[in-house]
Amino acid sequence: MLRRIPSFIATCAALGLAVPAGAATFFSDKAAFLAATASTQATTAYADHGATHLAHLVSGSVTINEYDAASYFFTGAWTTRLPGNDLAITGKENLNVALAAPVRALGFDFVEPQHDPNVNAPFEESTFTVTFLNGATAVDSFTFNAPNDVAAFAGASSAWAFDRIQIRETIGGAENEFFGQFYTSAKLPAGAVPEPASWAMMLGGFGLVGSALRSSRKAMATFA
């Protein structure tokens, strides 16, 4: 049996099978994120829609969607911490974001005001979970709690390709936080193993290898 292991490994290698690398790599330093992932700005400057309630907004290669009918958003110059216009959301700061093409890194500018203007409710310390999805399948995630009253950044790179994200305020309330520009990259992180589809290839490959081993046993039995 041990003599068959090299053949098993060789078959897996020939099929390009590999176990995907670990979880998302989180960045709170924007410059480090851009340098490590080769990300570029994916959104364009948001138009100032004033008091208009938006259900979705297409900006560059990013489509930003409301979480539900009670969580629509506005664009405007809400905070001086971010250059240009930014997003404010009614209710909890939940968003659904769709991308024009799959990527492997995504980040965004973010402000959590505590003493700055436009808090608009008693301050609550907030924690967010960002989930990466490929279609309807969650493939990776990260959490963050941004420092207050500064222009912050949250982003991550992943071995898995994804084409949408969900941002959920898992701890916190309806006080305002603000989102700025989004940044993405399709570049595979160094040392990572690509594609969730590799799992399907692996399962198929294991089936092929098993079939080959069974055929080998039958052949040996025939010539015994």
The pLDDT tens digits for 144-199 are 999 999 999 999 999 999 999 999 999 988 888 999 999 999 998 876 665 545 44
User: For the chain, how many residues are written?
Assistant: 224
Mean pLDDT of the residues in the chain: 81
* Residue 191, C-beta contacts closer than 8 angstroms, at least 6 positions apart: 21
The pTM (predicted TM-score) of the whole model is 0.77
The pLDDT tens digits for 44-100 are 999 888 778 888 899 999 999 988 887 788 899 889 999 888 999 988 899 999 999
Tell me the DSSP string of 122-168.
Answer: -----EEEEEEEETTEEEEEEEE-PPBTS-EEEEEEEEEEEEEEEEE
pLDDT(7) > 70 = no
The pLDDT tens digits for 123-151 are 889 999 999 999 999 999 999 999 999 99
Contact yes or no for 132/24 (Cβ under 8 A): yes
* Residue 136, C-beta contacts closer than 8 angstroms, at least 6 positions apart: none
The crossing angle, in degrees rounded to 10, of helices 197-223 and 5-15 is: 140
